[in-house]
Amino acid sequence: MDVRILKSSFAVVERRAEHAVKFFYSHLFWHNPGIRELFPASAQEMERQRDRLFAALTHVIAHLDDETLLPYLRELGRDHRKFLAGPEHYAAVGASLLAALARTSGEAWTPEVEKAWSEAYQVIADTMTEGAGSSEDPPWWDAEVVRHLQYGRDIGVLTLRPHLPLPHLPGQYVSVSSERVPGVWRTYSLGNAPRPDHTLDLHVSRIEGGLLSTALVREVRPGEMLRLGAAGGQLTFRRTDRPVSLIAAGTGWAPIRAILEELAGHPPDQDVRLFVVARDAAHLYDRPLIDRYAAAFRWLGVTYITPAPGQHRNQATDRLTTALGNRALWPERDVYLSGPPQFVEETAYVLAELGARPGRVFHDSLPLGGRGHGPGGRPLGFGEWFLNRPAPHWHNPSARAPRAREEDRP
């Protein structure tokens, strides 16, 4: 691949990204009407889809000379099997992508640039196809809902039984879809360590206006089937001899619970400190289990954090910050962090200020990257941010001054 040409020509396209992505989908659906049904029906979901395409493309370009690129593409190909992507789709996408790049690049689209892109796309498509073909996993798992618990109006815990065991590690997530909302996939962390009966728990917080989260919390019933993709994510537990802190906010509790179950099965020698943050006491939905664990295990200490009475839900994060600051020895600890993207970002920042080592603070990659929230508070993906940079959002501007960016620090 001609990395130099690809990067410089992508820089031109990036400036007109929205146009490029819209042109791409119009071209794709016009020339391949049959493909339309593989994509979500709703306009809002198509917008997210557009974002994902651009995010994937941006990732590929940013990592062109990186050894992680091929494994990333293989995994992408493996995961695309659940969208029923076949060889004919790869060809159609390639033709429309090149057409969109050509249209957006204007005079910068020379025969040399076209050759570089068409070779690069071939490598991308071949690697994804190879990833799809060589995976021993099924393209997806159909899973029956065997239990549905609803806490309050907006939290659901669903227990699923997949038709085949779905390999996963404590702390990982899966993508989930339901026939109630065709074409919509969302990722949810699994709330349990692997079990002998292979059942899986999803903890779902309903997002206002969220199609799938609303269906999962309020509508889905036992006996119904969901579809799951393979497990992934970086929040898996690493056994070391260092003490451990687990920090969870909201349903970010799910992967932390899975890690705690793993520790309960194989107790650690060192101490484990758990912080559970919630918007109010009613949202500490797993408190009975946590209290049982705290009573049973000497190695476990628990701190619950909710906002002060009458305060906004995010004030709990300020209280957490204070609680973290009251503890010492952060450089010695491994920290696992899970919750709303902005919470994770802020808390990771606070921990770094308190001396936690970057390689010892684990969390899933942040779609948000400190770039704010989209309409309705939904997290933004990278491409979405790129297309529509929102103003920075400080949940409590008077509480702390805007941080210096990395490059501004002395």
Ligand X SMILES: NC(=O)C1=CN([C@@H]2O[C@H](COP(=O)(O)OP(=O)(O)OC[C@H]3O[C@@H](n4cnc5c(N)ncnc54)[C@H](O)[C@@H]3O)[C@@H](O)[C@H]2O)C=CC1
Binding site for ligand X (CB under 6 A): 189, 205, 235, 249-252, 254-255, 277-279, 283, 313-314, 316-317, 338-340, 342-344, 346, 363-364, 395
Q: How far is the CB of 403 from ligand X (least distance, A)?
A: 13
Question: CA-to-CA distance for 16 and 10, rounded, in angstroms?
Answer: 10
3-state secondary structure of 360: helix
Which lies closer to ligand X via its Cβ, residue 235 or residue 290? Answer: 235
The encoded tokens of residue 363 equal 């969390």
Which lies closer to ligand X via its Cβ, residue 344 or residue 356? Answer: 344
Q: How far is the CB of 301 from ligand X (least distance, A)?
A: 20
Q: How far is the CB of 280 from ligand X (least distance, A)?
A: 8
Q: How far is the CB of 309 from ligand X (least distance, A)?
A: 14
Question: CA-to-CA distance for 196 and 304, rounded, in angstroms?
Answer: 31
The H or E element that residue 214 is part of is helix 211-214
Which lies closer to ligand X via its Cβ, residue 9 or residue 342? Answer: 342
Question: Counting Cβ atoms within 10 Å, is residue 67 exposed (0-12), middle (13-18) or buried (19+)?
Answer: exposed
Q: How far is the CB of 15 from ligand X (least distance, A)?
A: 29
Which lies closer to ligand X via its Cβ, residue 114 or residue 261? Answer: 261
Question: CA-to-CA distance for 295 and 51, rounded, in angstroms?
Answer: 46
CB atoms within 10 A of CB 33: 9
Q: How far is the CB of 76 from ligand X (least distance, A)?
A: 20
Which lies closer to ligand X via its Cβ, residue 212 or residue 254? Answer: 254
Residue pair 250/182 in contact (Cβ under 8 Å)? The answer is: no
Which lies closer to ligand X via its Cβ, residue 12 or residue 282? Answer: 282
Q: How far is the CB of 302 from ligand X (least distance, A)?
A: 16
CB proximity list for 66: less than 8 A, separation 6 or greater: none
Distances (CA, A) of 291 to 48, 142, 157, 252, 298: 39, 34, 19, 18, 12
Residue nearest to ligand X (CB): 250
Q: How far is the CB of 333 from ligand X (least distance, A)?
A: 18
Distances (CA, A) of 401 to 225, 233, 372, 396: 48, 32, 16, 10
Q: How far is the CB of 332 from ligand X (least distance, A)?
A: 23
**What is the radius of gyration, based on Cα positions, of the chain?**
22
Question: CA-to-CA distance for 374 and 386, rounded, in angstroms?
Answer: 12
Q: How far is the CB of 23 from ligand X (least distance, A)?
A: 31
Distinct helix (H) and strand (E) counts, the chain? 12, 11
Which lies closer to ligand X via its Cβ, residue 40 or residue 250? Answer: 250
Which lies closer to ligand X via its Cβ, residue 134 or residue 396? Answer: 396
Please name which of 346, 296, 341, 299 lies closest in space to residue 319, comparing C-alpha atoms: 346
Residue pair 143/90 in contact (Cβ under 8 Å)? The answer is: no
Which lies closer to ligand X via its Cβ, residue 21 or residue 248? Answer: 248
Please name which of 92, 89, 109, 102 lies closest in space to residue 20, comparing C-alpha atoms: 102
Which lies closer to ligand X via its Cβ, residue 8 or residue 365? Answer: 365
